[in-house]
Structure 1
Amino acid sequence: MEQPGTEAVEQRRAAEQQRGTRLKVMVAVDESDGSLYALSWALDNLFPLPPPAEDAGEVVIVHVQQPFQNYVFPAGPALYATTAVMDSVRKVQQQNAEALLAKVSHVCSEKHTTVKVKTMVMEGDPKEMICQAVEQVHPDLLLVGSRGLGKLKRAFLGSVSDYCAHHAKCPILIVKPPHK
């Protein structure tokens, strides 16, 4: 059985060979299994094995960290973090980002040795920053994983993949993990 999206991938490959260029794919990752599945799916389905040449293409991995925020409670005092606490949180965020990017870079090198891998770490709202990264990098395709939020949660929390589908300035593929 052919996987979903395979026909579009084959059309893209044919157009790519005519132009003589390689595919540049951006994959948005976080700590979720859905984003790691999207990366794995991209490597398995977008880059053929064995590659037709030494340079099979490029994967740009983008990770967005939420900035640290102070909180104000309506019926009580505001909670402001000290500089030491903020520095500590930033240090932990940086360590987590480095560990995540090392993990996904390892996945890339295990699955595909000829794909060039670049990484980006950004800070801000993930929805907006992923779209901003698309404008900076100009990928041929953006891949995002899907957490599978229900309709109610998606309405209140918003969906990164839904936002990117409407605002990213390139084609986007939302990769859902298989049902268990």
Structure 2
Amino acid sequence: MEESGGRRMKMKVMVAIDESEGSFYALKWVIDNLITAMATVGESSPQNDGMVYLAHVEPKVQNYVYPIGPGGAAFYPTTVVVDSVKKAHEERSAALLARALKICHDKLVKAESIILNGDAREMICEAADQMQIDLLVLGSRGLGTLKRTFLGSVSDYCAHHAKMPILIVKPPQHSRKH
């Protein structure tokens, strides 16, 4: 991208990261094909040509009420249980983002990570809009029609609701499971 006067503008790219290999393939694709291409067009290095934001969404931990005992007395999970689940989510998020940040660091690409809480589809679109992201990148898990109908597809939702260009990166044909 260029500003007036021929100066290069820094592109802000958000890559959604989850536990799927598709999201990591998308990150590697962005680094190898987009960030590197941007650097070779100008006279700058990849580390000075834009920013990659790695976004991971943790699901909200809900306090559910379970009727138990005579008369349907309610049981609420203790704070210890809820805190334990939250801690497990945080540890998983930290591990995923550390892996993604290492990939960026190894390729000399500037990256920052953000952790969002809530519905992945909505949170990714909202964060990308608020951060004024230039390009939103999502990996494709290759869900079949039936699974996509019941589970919903984050990439499908973002393709219809994101306010910026979106790129859905599919893994090579041989690595997709049928």
| Alignment TM-score, normalising by the size of structure 1 | 0.82
Match of 2:35 in 1: 47
Shift of 1:33: 0.2
Could you list the runs of 4 or more consecutive aligned residues of structure 1 that deviate by over 4 angstroms after TM superposition? 15-19, 70-74, 76-79
Q: 2-side partners of 1:155 and 1:143: how far apart?
A: 22
Gaps of 5+ in 2: none
Matched to 2:53, the amino acid is: V
The two structures, once aligned, show a CA RMSD in angstroms of 2.3
> Contact 1:63–1:122 (CA<8 Å) still a contact in 2?
yes
Q: 1-side partners of 2:85 and 2:28: how far apart?
A: 30
Match of 1:58 in 2: 51
Match of 2:111 in 1: 117
Shift of 1:42: 0.4
Matched to 1:29, the amino acid is: I
Q: 1-side partners of 2:120 and 2:167: how far apart?
A: 17
Give the fraction of aligned pairs with identical amino acids, expressed as a percent. Answer: 54
Question: Does residue 74 of structure 2 align to residue 94 of structure 1?
Answer: no
Larger radius of gyration: 2
> Contact 1:16–1:22 (CA<8 Å) still a contact in 2?
no
Alignment coverage as a number of residue pairs: 164
| Alignment TM-score, normalising by the size of structure 2 | 0.83
Quickly say closer, same or farther: Cα 1:79–1:16, change in 2 above 3 A. farther
Shift of 1:69: 2.7
> Contact 2:59–2:118 (CA<8 Å) still a contact in 1?
yes
Q: 2-side partners of 1:79 and 1:154: how far apart?
A: 34
Shift of 1:81: 2.0
Q: 2-side partners of 1:126 and 1:41: how far apart?
A: 21
